[in-house]
Structure 1
Amino acid sequence: MQSYEERLTAPRSWWVIAAAVGVACALMLLPLGTLPMLGGLVGGAALAAVLVSSYGSARIRVVAGSLIAGDAKIPAAALGEAQVLDAAEARAWRTYKADTRAFMLMRSYIPTAVRVEVNDPADPTPYVYLSTRHPEELSAALAAIRA
């Protein structure tokens, strides 16, 4: 059985922005003195880093006969075919081809994705859209648990 795990971490540039938010907070508090400025630097950077880290903590896992994507856990029996999406096709499925009933774990900084049909008649979700940096590996892992 093939397993797969990926964390959709935020890009490095977002961490630079988090540091810049700390500097901006420090500059806003500079007229109040050195201690408030240092507090603004540490507090602003820490808050921005927590936000970036939490957004980039989403995980996709294929283990023990199920797909776990963010908060969703879907058994292999409910999964249909997995379609690997290149950047252009992924953009189309995020926009004009999207179904409002679909479960989407998207990250704008990841251009490729996998679209997996959901075959459970009790579930109104037509498909699962997952942003992934390794769509072929995820598709292969999903095919392995369905077999």
Structure 2
Amino acid sequence: MSSPSPKSPAPKGSASTVLYSERLTPSFGIWFVAALLAAACILVFVPISLTAGITGAVVAAVIFAVLLILSTPQIRVTPDSLQVGRAQIERRFIGQVEAFRGDDATMQRGPALNATAYMCIRGWISPVVRIEITDPADRTPYWLTSTRHPEKLVEALTQGR
């Protein structure tokens, strides 16, 4: 009996089929600020020596890059589940899903925000999606997540209902 090839596609509807995936990576502006902060280390250490300043800047740049990469959450939708950052829920507990852009997104992140909602928001990504949670055992009313493609995420979460 032969085992399936690791490159063979997963059966349709299986949990390993990814309907939508997005990494909330930092924008160019965030990387630029991190580079400026690392370069500022030269000014801090140059009174000791230029070599210490350059070494400090390189070490700071590596630390900032690692922290930015490690703190990058992922949104992943499969036929059975939704993962946003470290949180995961079965799709059967997802209710209404809405996308917001512009002033409406600002309102959802600010005055309209419920303090008990789960949030995965990145300041460099303006659009958000609000995902209602219908699990009676979960006191979280909804999840609010930043996304660069809100319409695609809404489509992935509402298809097959």
Note whether the superposition's TM-score is higher than 0.5: yes
Q: Which residue of 2 aligns with 1:144?
A: 159
Unpaired stretches in structure 2, ≥5 consecutive residues = 1-12
Q: Which residue of 1 aligns with 2:91?
A: 76
**Are 1:106 and 2:106 counterparts?**
no
Give deviations 1:71-96, integer Å, cap 9, x for gaps: 11010110001111122111111111
- State the one-letter code of the partner of 2:19: S
Report the Cα distance in structure 2 between the residues aligned to 1:49 and 1:26, rounded to whole angstroms.
17
Structure showing the higher helix proportion among its residues: 1
Moved more, 130-139 or 21-30: 21-30
Q: Is the 8 A contact 1:106 1:130 kept in 2?
A: yes
Could you tell me which residue of structure 2 aligns to residue 14 of structure 1?
30
Matches within 5 A, 1:48-63: 48-55=64-71, 57-63=72-78
Letter in 2 for 1:50: V
Distance 1:92 1:125 in 2: 19
**Paired letter, 2:76:** R
Query: Deviation of residue 42 (structure 1)?
Result: 0.9
1 CA distance for matches of 2:27 and 2:126? Answer: 12
Question: CA shift at 1:3, angstroms?
Answer: 0.2
Q: What is the number of residues matched between the two proteins?
A: 145
Question: Equivalents in 2 of 1:135, 1:117: separation in Å?
Answer: 15
Q: Which runs of 4+ in 1 moved over 3 A?
A: none
State which drifts further: 7-16 or 38-47.
38-47
Distance 1:119 1:97 in 2: 19
What do you get for the CA RMSD once the two structures are aligned?
1.5
Matched position secondary structure for 1:32: coil
DSSP 3-state at the match of 2:47: helix
Q: Name the residue aligned to 1:91.
A: 106
Listed as ranges, the gaps of 5+ residues in structure 1 are none
CA distance in 2, matches of 1:76, 1:109: 27
Tell me, yes or no, if the aligned pair for 1:61 and 1:68 is still in contact at 8 Å: yes
Are 1:110 and 1:131, in contact at CA under 8 Å, matched by a contact in 2?
yes
TM-score norm. by structure 2 comes to 0.84
Higher relative contact order (CA 8 A, sep 6+): 1
